[in-house]
Chain A
């Protein structure tokens, strides 16, 4: 096995281009489990933790551009106010030790349907910045990033440089079902983001389909039916829950049955919309 240690982004891209089979490693919280258990024996590990810019963030066109290796603990500390949905999801990841190492970039690389950062990235309309030496930069909308179970839109020579997310313009919530608070892979999860300026609501479902996905029909329904100045009508809330559940195509597995997941998605959709709406009306009144 080779152990590649680029210290600059250009070196990292060159290493990946020269050896597309090399497995990138940041926090290692997915990769090392697989290596420790012999599930994976990569020809090479490409350690990205020495590429300083992957651990930093900047602002671009009013959006945050957050390096792929920024750990969850930093997302929680620095972005709780401006990216509340993602920060809430980050708080539910693993344990403090896992959050000190694990990153959104690694979550995107693993592309597990249960990955907790995906629903808030989808709901907020995040962009994923991928780059390769020979192909340059591609900005991939979260919505088009997840292509199958643990598969993503990255090409073999590409690495994730950062993700881009605009500061929230309205309330955002994340909800996750699991057997306890810490150290839980989501049975299913749900994220919502209100975009009051555009009169639009974004959604994201986790662990409820082969890939994380939006509930597009439910979003269209709200865009048409919501009165942004009025309390939520119970019938509208129910319908929203139904449409979100309909967007799911869950499986039965050890963590939960498909029927339970569909039910839970509807409950989380109604709940998170109610919480967000409560905040939204409160802000209007203030």
Chain B
């Protein structure tokens, strides 16, 4: 089937999409957007997190056809031109990235948290990121990064 949706502000159309395919597969394999990662395909790891109509979801659990006509925003769509989003900057500065596989999902999920809550408590950060697994960092630097991004956004 054919699928048309808006991805990072641009309308995209892809052909020959299999009806049982996930949005994650479409993004990575058909639209050339490999930012969202495929690590589990069962909603457990959060590394495929994208915005669907403004709501963060696991792209691996969205049927491609369900995205028809909808707005998708991936990690590739967070920066403005060359300027990284404050969340992305903070991840780099705090050393919250090691192998990087979990990073795109965490960045999108943290981005959503900071859009909703200006100064999240540690408990709120942990709760928001509870569905994003990282096998490398031990999470402490990820928490640091989210705190730093929150501070900068709030004082900007």
Asked whether any CB of chain A lies closer than 8 Å to the CB of B9, the reply is no
Asked whether any CB of chain A lies closer than 8 Å to the CB of B84, the reply is no
Q: Are B19 and A28 in touch, CB under 8 angstroms?
A: no
| Complex CA–CA separation, A29 to B60 (angstroms) | 9
With contacts A37-B42, A98-B131 taken as known, whether A1 is within 8 angstroms of B18 at the C-beta atoms is: yes
| Complex CA–CA separation, A94 to B49 (angstroms) | 14
Q: Are B22 and A36 in touch, CB under 8 angstroms?
A: yes
Which residue of the partner chain, among A2, A29, A95, A98, contacts B19 with CB atoms under 8 Å?
A2
Which residue of the partner chain, among A28, A97, A181, A183, contacts B63 with CB atoms under 8 Å?
A28
Asked whether any CB of chain B lies closer than 8 Å to the CB of A78, the reply is no
Please provide the chain B residues from 17 to 71 with a CB less than 8 Å away from any CB of chain A in the complex: 18-20, 22, 41-44, 46, 49, 55-58, 60-63, 65-66, 68
Asked whether any CB of chain A lies closer than 8 Å to the CB of B115, the reply is no
Interface size on A, residues (CB 8 A): 30
B67 to chain A, nearest CB (A): 10
Q: Are A32 and B56 in touch, CB under 8 angstroms?
A: no
Asked whether any CB of chain A lies closer than 8 Å to the CB of B79, the reply is no
What sequence of 0s and 1s flags, for each residue 112-145 of chain B, a beta carbon within 8 Å of any chain A beta carbon? 0000000000000001101110000000000000
Q: Are A45 and B42 in touch, CB under 8 angstroms?
A: no
Q: Are A98 and B43 in touch, CB under 8 angstroms?
A: yes
A107 to chain B, nearest CB (A): 14
Q: Are B131 and A5 in touch, CB under 8 angstroms?
A: no
Q: Are A47 and B65 in touch, CB under 8 angstroms?
A: yes
**Cβ of B68: which chain A residues have Cβ within 8 Å of it?**
5
| Complex CA–CA separation, A37 to B42 (angstroms) | 8
Q: Are A183 and B19 in touch, CB under 8 angstroms?
A: no
Asked whether any CB of chain B lies closer than 8 Å to the CB of A275, the reply is no
| Complex CA–CA separation, A41 to B46 (angstroms) | 24
Which residue of the partner chain, among A27, A44, A97, contacts B46 with CB atoms under 8 Å?
A97
Q: Are B49 and A36 in touch, CB under 8 angstroms?
A: no
| Complex CA–CA separation, A5 to B131 (angstroms) | 29
Interface size on B, residues (CB 8 A): 28
| Complex CA–CA separation, A45 to B61 (angstroms) | 14
| Complex CA–CA separation, A265 to B12 (angstroms) | 52
**Cβ of A96: which chain B residues have Cβ within 8 Å of it?**
56, 109, 127-128, 130-131
Q: Are B20 and A33 in touch, CB under 8 angstroms?
A: no
**Cβ of A42: which chain B residues have Cβ within 8 Å of it?**
20
Asked whether any CB of chain A lies closer than 8 Å to the CB of B99, the reply is no
Asked whether any CB of chain A lies closer than 8 Å to the CB of B156, the reply is no
A92 to chain B, nearest CB (A): 11
| Complex CA–CA separation, A273 to B49 (angstroms) | 39
Asked whether any CB of chain B lies closer than 8 Å to the CB of A152, the reply is no
| Complex CA–CA separation, A94 to B127 (angstroms) | 11
Q: Are A97 and B42 in touch, CB under 8 angstroms?
A: no
**Cβ of B63: which chain A residues have Cβ within 8 Å of it?**
3, 25, 28, 31-32, 35, 45, 47
| Complex CA–CA separation, A8 to B18 (angstroms) | 24
| Supplied contacts A96-B128, A98-B131, A100-B57, 15 more A-B pairs, CB within 8 Å | A1-B18, A3-B19, A25-B63, A25-B66, A32-B43, A33-B41, A36-B42, A42-B20, A45-B19, A95-B132, A98-B58, A100-B55, A101-B62, A181-B130, A183-B130
**Which residues on B are within 8 Å of A, measured CB to CB?**
1, 18-20, 22, 41-44, 46, 49, 55-58, 60-63, 65-66, 68, 109, 127-128, 130-132
Can you report 17 A-B residue pairs in the complex whose CB atoms are below 8 A from each other?
A1-B20, A3-B65, A28-B63, A28-B66, A33-B43, A36-B42, A36-B60, A37-B41, A37-B42, A47-B63, A95-B131, A97-B43, A97-B56, A98-B58, A101-B61, A181-B130, A183-B131
